[in-house]
Structures are given as structure tokens and as C-alpha cells.
């Protein structure tokens, strides 16, 4: 199994960086994992801004040469892992900009006349690891679980990725946030996944 980790936090010396390290360490001990690639969106100054004009058209995003390497990473991966914080009830704009550009028509999905679009990333699975300052119950009770609806239903299921696992960790800035147990849980998951 090939795993692409899309890391979205401004630096790696952080709690999100610790989760990234646990993902890669768990994968390193798992015989079912062949290779892991880490894409650090902030680290490589990914430009999340969509630009459309007379020479750069939305309908051509699936063949934009500036995004070819990222498309190849997605095609290569059997499992996509997203590591990011929850800011204002949603993933960072950097991650959403990556999604806006990479999950384009004729690459991630295909329109069909009179029918729902066909997801072109079938057979892949995804894991979303998110951290937040507030309690883990905040998105469920105050936001009607908008984060999971966005990531799973509106995005990943739409492009054909039906198997999605969530780790949503709240109270991460609290001294009683059980950070070590949460990090160990992620490590054990990636140490033992088989698909």
C-alpha cells in the first residue's frame, strides 16, 4: 500500500507535526505499507489561490502542468492521509485551496449528462487527522458535524473515495488534553492498517 500524507500546518515543530511523525513512524513498522510520501503544503509554499483568466481556464485544471506532480502523487497513492487543524470549524484555507485545484473535473470526477458525476478516484481510501483547541464535541453539537460532512460527503465521497476514517482530537491546547494517548492511538492505527 502506498500512502500520501498531505500535511497542512505552518511548521512541523508543533502538535500537528507530532501527529505527522506518528503517522510515518507507524507506517514504517507496518509490513503492508510499501511507501509513504509526505506533501508539506506550507513547507513547499503551495499556492492555494485559484486563478482563472483567458489563458488559464477552469475546464483545463485537470491538465495544468503546474499541478502535474500533485496529480501523480494522488494517482500513486492507495490511501490519502490529511493532517491539519480545525480553524473556525473547517480545515485551513491552504488545504481547501489544494483540494480546489487538485480535485478537478476530468481528474477526480467526470460529469455525466443527467446523472450524478462519476468519481474517478475509486478504490482509494482516506484518513483525516484533525486537531482543535475546543472540545471534540464542539463540531458535532454546534456545527452539525460540518467538518465531516465537508470532507467525507461533499468531497471524498464525491470523487469516489468511500472509505474515510476520522480522528478528531479536541482540547489539544489543554494540559489535560491527553495528547500522548492521542498520539499513541494514531501510531497504533498506522502500525496495523492493512488497506
Task: Give tens-digit pLDDT for 161-190.
Answer: 999 999 988 766 666 657 889 899 999 999
pLDDT for 135 equals 57
Check if the beta carbon of residue 187 is closer than 8 Å to that of residue 25.
Answer: yes
Cell readout for 50 is: 485559484
The H-assigned helical ranges of 41-108 are: 68-76, 93-102
Show the cell assigned to 156. Answer: 471524498
pTM assigned to the model: 0.92
Report how many domains make up the chain: 1
Quick: pLDDT tens for 36-67. 999 999 999 999 998 888 787 777 888 899 99
CATH code where residue 76 lies = 3.40.50.360
Inter-CA distances, 44 with 62, 127, 137, 174, Å: 21, 22, 33, 30
Spatial separation of the C-alpha atoms in residues 62 and 72, rounded to whole Å:
11
pLDDT number for residue 109: 95
Distance CA 180, CA 195 (A): 25
pLDDT at position 134, please?
Answer: 60
Write out the three cell numbers for 169: 482530537
Helix (H, G, I), strand (E, B) or coil at 137: coil
Which residue segment(s) compose the domain that 51 sits in? 2-192
As a dihedral over the C-alpha atoms of residue 38, residue 39, residue 42, residue 45, rounded to 10 degrees, the angle is 140
What's the pLDDT score for residue 37?
98
Share of the chain above pLDDT 70, in %: 91
* Beta strands, E only, the chain: 2-7, 35-40, 79-85, 109-112, 115-119, 125-131, 163-169
Cell representation of residue 114: 443527467
- The string of pLDDT tens digits covering residues 60-94 is 888 899 999 999 999 999 999 999 999 888 899 99
Amino acid at each position: 500500500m502506498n500512502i500520501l500524507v498531505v500535511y497542512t500546518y505552518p511548521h512541523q515543530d508543533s502538535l500537528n507535526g507530532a501527529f505527522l511523525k506518528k503517522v510515518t513512524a507507524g507506517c514504517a513498522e507496518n509490513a503492508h505499507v510499501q511507501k509513504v510520501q509526505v506533501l508539506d503544503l506550507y513547507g513547499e509554499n503551495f499556492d492555494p489561490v485559484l486563478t482563472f483568466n483567458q489563458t488559464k481556464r477552469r475546464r483545463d485544471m485537470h491538465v495544468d502542468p503546474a499541478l502535474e506532480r500533485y496529480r501523480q502523487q494522488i494517482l500513486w497513492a492507495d490511501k490519502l492521509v490529511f493532517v491539519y487543524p480545525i480553524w473556525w470549524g473547517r480545515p485551513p484555507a491552504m488545504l481547501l485551496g489544494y483540494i480546489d485545484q487538485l480535485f478537478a473535473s476530468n481528474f477526480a470526477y467526470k460529469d455525466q449528462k443527467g446523472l450524478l458525476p462519476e468519481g474517478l478516484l475509486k478504490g482509494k481510501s482516506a484518513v483525516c487527522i484533525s486537531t482543535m483547541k475546543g472540545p471534540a464535541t464542539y463540531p458535532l453539537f454546534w456545527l452539525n458535524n460540518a467538518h465531516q460532512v465537508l470532507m467525507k460527503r461533499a468531497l471524498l465521497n464525491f470523487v469516489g473515495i468511500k472509505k474515510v476514517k476520522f480522528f478528531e482530537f479536541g482540547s489539544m491546547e489543554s494540559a489535560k488534553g491527553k495528547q500522548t494517548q492521542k498520539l499513541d492511538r494514531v501510531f497504533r492505527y498506522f502500525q496495523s492498517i492493512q488497506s
